[in-house]
Structure 1
Amino acid sequence: MTVPAGGPESWPTHHSKALYARARRTITDGTSRTTLLRKGKHPIYVDHGEGAWVTDVDGNRYLDCNNNFASIIIGHADPVIAGAVQARLARGTAFSLPTDAEIELAELLCERVESFELIRFCNSGTEAVMAALKAARAYTGRPNIIKAEGAYHGTYDHAEASLSPNPTNWGQAVAPATVPYSAGTPASVADEVTVISFNDIEGARDAIHRSGDRLAAVLLDVMPNRVGMPVIESEYVRAIRDATRAVGALLVLDEVISFRLGYGGAQTQLCVDPDITALAKIIGGGFPVGAVAGRRGPMEVFVRSGGGQAKVPSGGTFAANPITMAAGHAAMAQLDGNAFARLDAVGERVRCGLRTVIARAGLDWQVTGAGSLFRVHPHNRTIRNYRDAHLSSDEAAQISEFGLRMQSHGVYFVAESLGCLNLATADSDVEHLLGAAEASLANS
């Protein structure tokens, strides 16, 4: 395994630094995505991407282990997707009328997953989750939801409750507190959102039955990043599914990220039968996208009855625009069983390789994840839930430093050391990643 010579100081970033200084004059905080900022560091500005790599405005190349937060799965500048987009661009970018591109992507997705009887497109994962929860409330006539502590579901107030609690405010593990994430969140959110601990079977079952006829839905991500990407326990899923049916509530599955785990998403792999699924990221082929898919009954709340208003009116200026639909179809059509088998193999090689590198460095760290996803943890605690994965200030500093060191050796991670791979990742790229990790952990 080889790594680039030099360290952070040897990589020129003056063009990125200048762009950030310029951006701060017109963009709040210098960037529209807070996830791009690292303490004391300016963001790296990308010039272009190709395959598994991105090149910044200073000419530095990085193996992309983020892939726009898991939305790029084929690879950067994929010629098939580019060709489909260019063909559609020549016919117009967006219309106030529908196109056949929307139907083609809808058909492809519904053919892949048994629970997708109907689908409706929007523009982001946040919108998809919000629409799914609104649909659950409209269908059941109930106000409340339940979600797992630490799970990220976008920026809707109810969905982001208890996204980032800490020991000072998270309450008892058996009955976690509902902690607002954003300043200004209405106090009513605490009355309408019950928080449970991930993989707590009895806690989930009890919360669902206590909520009873006020519960609209349980919102579940089967492998949430901020919870540490632990293995979800099958009995936990079954308990939630059985209890929601018993009280007449819905199961809303957030597959915004986990849909990249297999041909039919995580729900097919785990034999989960959700009522509604929120989708985004990979189904857009690198363009902004979201979708709500599910059983006919709940999905019909979006139908206008007799030409009047639907129970849940929904739309968006760029929802189902033909460019996104064409890109999404071009991406998803390439993702057959062989493609997912390759992604699984590459991901497993990276996870195993990182564990070997960590052990060689004498560190008590661990790696979690599945498929094309992985996450590095600066501890070896058993991870079943958010509190197990929650980092102390020292651990957070360690993992942040690891990410910066990896960047200095030509591998791009986010601060939490979430890793995500695309189909263009070659064996030599895996070697580069592992070599960068070995160099980054030396003398740690």
Structure 2
Amino acid sequence: MTERIGSHAGGRRSESQSAALYEKAHQWIPDGVSRATLLRRPNPIYVDHGQGAWVTDVDGNRYLDCNNNFTSIIVGHANPAVTQAVSAQMARGTAFAMASNAEIELAALLCDRVGSFELIRFCNSGTEAVMGALKAARAFTGRPNVIKVEGAYHGTYDHAEASLASNPTNWGDAAAPVTVPYSVGTPDSVTEEVSVIHFNDAHGAREAIRRQGDRLAAVLLDVMPSQVGLPAIEPEFIAAVRDTTREVGALLVLDEVISFRLGYSGAQTLLGIDPDITAVAKIIGGGFPVGGVAGREGPMSTFARSGSARAKVPSGGTFTANPVTMAAGFATMSQLDHDAFARLDELGDAVRSGLRSAIDAAGVDWQVTGRGSLFKVHPHTRHIRNYRDAHLSSDEAAELEHFEHAVQAAGVYLSGGGFGSISLAATDDDIDFLLEGAAAAFAG
């Protein structure tokens, strides 16, 4: 049985070390943190260290980590094999203006796993991976426009974040969703170059793709988007997107930044999808900053020089394919064999089943979605097919925030929006601990 510490209020008390650090940080950092996703009331929690499935904050409170740095940690914190690989590389140096064999080893591992990964090009984040994938699609097709799913998060690139947080006041008619810029100052051209469709709307996808026709470079698709509620993707929708993009000569770009943790060869193999380009990140870096654009030789050739001419899509970065990241990624991915993913499925099934039982026992109108090692709780029972189904009213959002605070007080650290993930380091006892905390939160 994993040792527990009874009180977890310290991360939220105004006199806590986390609160003091947050106040101090405002002297130099806008909003006190460099990641908006860390903000929670009344202050973000400041971590001291992590081990396995658990993290300890600066006030000494321990939490079962069901956030896992927003799904990027999959074998647990301070994993011995990863630590050894990183330490060995650091002893030889951390960054060079030269290529390394570590990049080749991770590239070969990933391309051997996934049928559509004929070539891969590394970068430093999921945002960069999506941006690079879209640039490659535009360069390969010679077309400017993109279609994406309403509510889907794909990083902070202007075109990819369109309609990320649209709401009933601006999202338009269901039959014609409006493209809504996310950040203030987004160029007007984004609304002209990005069209929005509903997740799981096969008819709407076909119409939108055909309407764009020879101006469409790509459809950008996450097969299980967290901001859309982790709904199951419908086969008819997959077929509509894949068949119609081919019909008009556009590319299918999959965002597997998160969903790559669903199986040995990613979600695309589980679902039978054949993309042209895939954006990957998170777990492939073993806890270090990473991204990758992988795909068929044709579109991936846009990253390669042709003779003395520069590439159609030049790419690089001071820390791209950093040998420490590549070593950590290889050490992580090498542990993720078929048995490892079967265990992650088992853990995820136990969480979702247990949460549903807790909901039934509490008699509350909630539900749970997800697959593999991912789960999400919703403070309503609407059938979720798309973003508008999952979108919360102000009362529902307040109810979910209350639940998250109660679970955190019980020693479980979730992502925002009721979203969680499980690492391979979690034990059956850890899952019981999670479910006990959730049951108490539902009952309260």
Measure, in 2, the Cα distance between the counterparts of 1:10 and 1:180.
34
Structure 1 gap ranges (5+) = none
Work out whether residues 124 and 320 of structure 2, in 8 Å CA contact, stay in contact via their aligned partners in 1: yes
Match of 1:355, SS state, is: helix
- Aligned equivalent of 2:36: 34
Match of 1:260, SS state, is: helix
Percentage of matched positions with identical amino acids: 68
Measure, in 2, the Cα distance between the counterparts of 1:3 and 1:212.
58
- Aligned equivalent of 2:361: 360
1:316-327 superposed matches below 5 A:
316-327=317-328
- Aligned equivalent of 1:226: 227
Match of 1:182, SS state, is: coil
- Aligned equivalent of 2:19: 17
The Cα offsets for residues 16-57 of structure 1, whole Å up to 9 and x where unpaired, read as 11111111111110000011112x411110000000000001
Measure, in 2, the Cα distance between the counterparts of 1:10 and 1:115.
44
C-alpha RMSD of matched pairs (Å) = 1.5
Measure, in 2, the Cα distance between the counterparts of 1:363 and 1:393.
18
- Aligned equivalent of 1:160: 161
Work out whether residues 11 and 18 of structure 2, in 8 Å CA contact, stay in contact via their aligned partners in 1: no
Measure, in 2, the Cα distance between the counterparts of 1:198 and 1:3.
41
CA drift at 1:442 = 2.0
Work out whether residues 378 and 399 of structure 1, in 8 Å CA contact, stay in contact via their aligned partners in 2: yes
Measure, in 2, the Cα distance between the counterparts of 1:4 and 1:361.
25
1:199-348 superposed matches below 5 A:
199-348=200-349
Structure 2 gap ranges (5+) = none
CA drift at 1:6 = 6.0
- Aligned equivalent of 2:388: 387
CA drift at 1:11 = 7.4
Work out whether residues 399 and 415 of structure 1, in 8 Å CA contact, stay in contact via their aligned partners in 2: no
Measure, in 2, the Cα distance between the counterparts of 1:236 and 1:22.
49
CA drift at 1:182 = 0.4
Amino acid at match of 1:36: L
- Aligned equivalent of 2:93: 92
Measure, in 2, the Cα distance between the counterparts of 1:157 and 1:415.
22
CA drift at 1:73 = 0.2
Work out whether residues 276 and 294 of structure 1, in 8 Å CA contact, stay in contact via their aligned partners in 2: yes
Q: Provide the TM-score with structure 2 as the length reference.
A: 0.98
After TM superposition, the runs of 4+ consecutive aligned structure 1 residues lying more than 6 A away are 1-4, 9-13
- Aligned equivalent of 1:77: 78
Q: Does the C-alpha gap of structure 1 residues 435 and 215 become closer, same or farther in structure 2, counting only changes over 3 Å? A: same
Q: Does the C-alpha gap of structure 1 residues 31 and 212 become closer, same or farther in structure 2, counting only changes over 3 Å? A: same
Q: Does the C-alpha gap of structure 1 residues 239 and 59 become closer, same or farther in structure 2, counting only changes over 3 Å? A: same
Measure, in 1, the Cα distance between the counterparts of 2:383 and 2:441.
24
Work out whether residues 230 and 370 of structure 2, in 8 Å CA contact, stay in contact via their aligned partners in 1: yes
Work out whether residues 8 and 61 of structure 2, in 8 Å CA contact, stay in contact via their aligned partners in 1: no
Work out whether residues 228 and 386 of structure 1, in 8 Å CA contact, stay in contact via their aligned partners in 2: yes
Measure, in 2, the Cα distance between the counterparts of 1:54 and 1:281.
18
Work out whether residues 5 and 62 of structure 2, in 8 Å CA contact, stay in contact via their aligned partners in 1: no
Amino acid at match of 2:37: T
Measure, in 2, the Cα distance between the counterparts of 1:287 and 1:91.
17
Measure, in 1, the Cα distance between the counterparts of 2:123 and 2:314.
12
Measure, in 2, the Cα distance between the counterparts of 1:205 and 1:260.
29
- Aligned equivalent of 2:121: 120
Q: Does the C-alpha gap of structure 1 residues 229 and 11 become closer, same or farther in structure 2, counting only changes over 3 Å? A: closer
CA drift at 1:415 = 2.5
- Aligned equivalent of 2:377: 376
Measure, in 1, the Cα distance between the counterparts of 2:7 and 2:72.
31
The Cα offsets for residues 399-425 of structure 1, whole Å up to 9 and x where unpaired, read as 111111111000001221101110000
Q: Does the C-alpha gap of structure 1 residues 200 and 11 become closer, same or farther in structure 2, counting only changes over 3 Å? A: closer
Match of 2:416, SS state, is: coil
The Cα offsets for residues 106-146 of structure 1, whole Å up to 9 and x where unpaired, read as 00000000000000000000000000000000000000000
Work out whether residues 11 and 57 of structure 2, in 8 Å CA contact, stay in contact via their aligned partners in 1: no
Work out whether residues 118 and 294 of structure 1, in 8 Å CA contact, stay in contact via their aligned partners in 2: yes
Match of 2:402, SS state, is: helix
Measure, in 2, the Cα distance between the counterparts of 1:264 and 1:175.
35
Work out whether residues 48 and 57 of structure 2, in 8 Å CA contact, stay in contact via their aligned partners in 1: yes
